[in-house]
Amino acid sequence: MTSSPDLYTCLGVARTASPEDIQLAFRQAARRFHPDTNPDPSASEEFKLVAHAHDVLSDARQRADYDAGAAPETIVVTLATTGSREHLRPVDEPQAVYYLVNISATAPAVFPAPPLNVCLVIDRSTSMQGPRLDQVKAAAAQLIEGLKPNDQFSVVAFSDRAEVILSAQQSRNKSAAVSRVSTISAGGGTEILQGLTAGLQELQNSFNGRAVNQLVLLTDGRTYGDEDDCLLLATLAERDGITISGLGIGDEWNDEFLDRLAAATGGESNYIGSPPAVKKQLADQLHRLGNTMAQHLRLQVTCDPGIELRSAFRVAPNPGPLLPAMQPLRLGNLRHGDTVSVLLEFLVEKAGVGIHNVARLSAISDVLSVGSTNERWQADLQLPVADKPAAVPPLAIIQALDKVTLYHLQEKAWAAIEGGDVAMATRRLERVASKLLAGNEPELAGVVMREIDRVGNTQQVSAEGRKRIKYGTRALIAAPRDTR
């Protein structure tokens, strides 16, 4: 069932708004989002939404019909925003402002766990032979045993070709399903496109708008020549409401590619340092899926004229950089009891007087309990303009910026190594180690120090060390900080 955005939400008025309130809200929104005055690519779509909302709500009969046909609220989504500034200065020079956006969901009644439609896509190339593949098969068997009657679960194994080991229908017989998974053997090269294609087809075969539709890719190697096609498939999967997550085992897989693949759908990518950790990672992931209230969560950021979205970073629950140009921002699943947090950086060209509009945020998602798509909740970012000193930013902003800066610092260190600037890479890694020690993270700081020694001796960083530092600093971003 496709849902239209709530018309009152589009205009930013209460359901009790008077006809005069509706007219005023429309005029204000039209000035902000008319494509003749706002160059933001999403402004045109925003203007169409507010114009349609005005047409319906300004007509008494259409408004009454709309109110009578309104569906009952199934979940309550909240967009809470914290800004780095209390006001803008009335100056003609650019000003940066950060917003921490927290999206959370609660259910007004008892929330039933949604069914799962999950496909596990397993790399069975030669390098997976031994403990890696054994642990993956044991993890798959554990998942099968834990399936609920209304869950759909399939398994695809791939090397240079893909094979459906277990269809969703075959997983009904758990003992037979476990037996089929145990037959997977290693051999051949790594062609991820083959596995993705077969896995997405299995998910489409059992697609359910009220289920969590998820592909989980496990790989220990690099795919060659098909990366662009894989990313295109991920883009198409996201449009269909399917999320892709990636788990990299060992240290030879391409972390940048797996990050991009997962990010294209709002999914997560993680590093598994040793085979025994596979079972826990998969079990944790499926447990989290069972708490999903809405999936296919996106955040549309429509900037006002004279405003630029400079950067976006998902802080929690799966930290990682987002591409501002890829609107809407893909955020994956929205789970009961969780908060999806995004740090946005805006550049305000100049501020005049009065209240300055920065952007409109629209959270868009598919609500599983009713099978509706494109439900929308929104918030407007505004700041007063005042000629007075700036206050200290809120602690939540300071902490988020500090952790995101640490993550970017290690990224810049790798870039310096690739560019041949060993001295710069060393200085940046030393700063990372210092910040980790100050943040009471001695184990990860020790990994960084060992890599500093390696860089000094060989001008290179180890694949294992790089991944441990990258995913270690990323995990710290979402971790709560003791502020006592």
127 and 34 both lie in a single domain: no
Is the confidence at residue 423, as pLDDT, over 90? yes
Nearest CA to 268 among 173, 337, 363, 333?
Answer: 333
| Predicted TM-score of the model (pTM) | 0.89
Picking from 289, 311, 329, the residue at the C-terminal end of a domain is 289
Is the confidence at residue 259, as pLDDT, over 70? yes
Which H or E run contains 113? Answer: none
Q: What is the pLDDT of residues 123-177, one digit of tens each?
A: 999 999 999 999 999 999 999 998 999 999 999 999 999 999 999 988 889 999 9
Judge whether 310 lies within some domain. no
Q: Which residues contact 82 (CB under 8 A, 6 or more apart)?
A: 99, 100, 102, 394, 396, 397
CATH number, domain at 29?
A: 1.10.287.110
Is the confidence at residue 289, as pLDDT, over 90? no
45 and 149 both lie in a single domain: no
Judge whether 238 lies within some domain. yes
Judge whether 317 lies within some domain. no
Domain count, the chain: 3
Judge whether 240 lies within some domain. yes
pLDDT winner (highest mean) among 30-34, 333-337, 342-346, 435-439: 342-346
163 and 62 both lie in a single domain: no
122 and 254 both lie in a single domain: yes
Q: Where are the alpha helices (DSSP H) in 16-130?
A: 19-33, 43-57, 60-68
127 and 223 both lie in a single domain: yes
133 and 247 both lie in a single domain: yes
Judge whether 366 lies within some domain. no
Structural domain that includes position 406 = 395-478
CATH number, domain at 216?
A: 3.40.50.410
pLDDT, average across residues 203-224: 92
244 and 159 both lie in a single domain: yes
**Considering only 3-7, 42-46, 189-193, 445-449, which range has the smallest mean pLDDT?**
3-7
Q: Which residues contact 138 (CB under 8 A, 6 or more apart)?
A: 278, 279
**Considering only 68-82, 91-105, 191-205, 420-434, which range has the smallest mean pLDDT?**
68-82
Judge whether 308 lies within some domain. no
User: What is the per-residue pLDDT for 108?
Assistant: 66
168 and 279 both lie in a single domain: yes
Q: How far apart are CA 265 and CA 105, in angstroms?
A: 20
Nearest CA to 85 among 399, 391, 396, 359?
Answer: 391
Q: Which two tokens stand for residue 201?
A: 């087809």
131 and 260 both lie in a single domain: yes
Judge whether 49 lies within some domain. yes
Q: Give all strands of the β-sheet with 292-303 in edge-to-edge order.
A: 329-335, 292-303, 355-367, 372-384
Phi and psi at 219, nearest 5°, equal -150, 155
136 and 231 both lie in a single domain: yes
Could you tell me the pLDDT band of residue 274, with boundaries at 50, 70 and 90?
confident
Picking from 289, 317, 348, the residue at the C-terminal end of a domain is 289
Is the confidence at residue 54, as pLDDT, over 50? yes
Judge whether 231 lies within some domain. yes
Could you tell me the pLDDT band of residue 482, with boundaries at 50, 70 and 90?
very low
Nearest CA to 468 among 236, 175, 326, 271?
Answer: 271
Picking from 242, 266, 289, the residue at the C-terminal end of a domain is 289
Largest CA distance in the chain: 78
Averaged pLDDT of the chain: 90
130 and 65 both lie in a single domain: no
Percent of the chain whose predicted confidence (pLDDT) is above 90: 67
